[in-house]
Amino acid sequence: MPTFTFYAYNLNPDTKAGKLFADKAVRQALLFALNRQQIVDAVFFGHGKVANSVEPPTSWAYKDKPKILYTFDKAKAESLLDGAGWAKGADGIRAKGGLKLKFDMITNAGNKQRESMLQVMQQSWKDIGVEATPSLIQFPQLVSQIVNIRTFDVFLVGFNWSNDPDEAPLYHSRNTVAGGFNGADFKNDQLDKAKRKQLYEQFQDIMSEEVPSPVVLFNTGIYGWNKRVQGTDFGSFNQFGSRPWAHSVWVTDGK
């Protein structure tokens, strides 16, 4: 059952990070520079699928032809940064208008997969002239950074949903307030089932172009349950920890 792992930029224009990442060309370049299949293979031992959308392939809302397909393309990444005016200095780090393209990346200490991912991201971005420094903090601190404090530059986490593909908690502008899950401060004004699918396809196009918080991969896992357990209805996004499907589960007497 897929969950997803993603990183998000702080897009608050009042922060240093917000100034670094304001241009979507920078965000696009960073995603093109990541060899995400390498992350799936080396960090998750093949148990995952590179994400081409913010919706998983198992969702009815999934658009199978993304507006922008982010394959691993270092040359494309460098071209985007060059075109956006970020030039390499003598130290190899890109800069523009006196601002260096360097930032911190936070995730929760002890999560070995995410720690390894940050190392891969650090090296991948160094290869195109970007200095990204991993910073490991405790999980409660990470949550506070995302929903309240918001002094981070970039955070890396995982998430899961129920059957419905509504991702408003992560991307709707109303959730940029303290306590909301739109910690990236992303805002875009354009954001019966057939009609919803059309709107979700538009949503995926916007997210493909704007890339405020790229989904790196959809994780996969294996679930097992006793034949006495009935009513399981796993969603498109899921992980065992939060059990959003458990309210409908019941157990027979086994006869």
d(CA 254, CA 247): 20
Rank 43-47, 194-198, 240-244 by mean pLDDT and report only the highest: 43-47
Which one-letter DSSP state was computed for residue 174? G
Q: List beta partners, residue 5.
A: 158, 217
Q: In what order do the strands lie in the sheet with 3-9?
A: 48-50, 215-219, 3-9, 154-159, 102-108, 131-137
Cβ neighbours of residue 78 closer than 8 Å, sequence gap 6 or more: 29, 128, 129
- pLDDT over threshold 80, residue 75: yes
- pLDDT over threshold 60, residue 27: yes
- pLDDT over threshold 80, residue 233: no
What is the model's pTM? 0.77
Token pair for residue 176? 């940029």
Question: Of residues 224 and 206, which shows the higher confidence score?
Answer: 206
Q: What are phi and psi of 54, to 5 degrees?
A: -80, -10
Question: Of residues 228 and 209, which shows the higher confidence score?
Answer: 209
Question: Of residues 11 and 159, which shows the higher confidence score?
Answer: 11
Q: For position 83, which CATH number holds? A: 3.10.105.10
Mean pLDDT of the chain: 87
d(CA 12, CA 232): 40
Question: Of residues 22 and 162, which shows the higher confidence score?
Answer: 22
Ramachandran quadrant class, 105 (left: phi over 0; alpha: psi -120 to 50; beta: rest): beta
- Binning pLDDT at 50, 70 and 90, where does residue 240 land? very low
Supply the DSSP string of 202-248, one letter for each residue: HHHHHHHHH-SS-EEEEE-------TTEE-----SS--TTT-TTGGG
- Binning pLDDT at 50, 70 and 90, where does residue 237 land? very low
Token pair for residue 179? 């306590």
In the chain, where do the E strands start and end?
A: 3-9, 48-50, 87-88, 94-96, 99-100, 102-108, 131-137, 154-159, 215-219, 229-230, 250-251
Decide: 72 and 121 in contact? Cβ < 8 Å.
Answer: no
The number of distinct structural domains making up the chain is 1
Q: Which domain holds residue 155?
A: 3-251
Q: What sign for the dihedral angle of Cα 34, 135, 53, 46?
A: positive
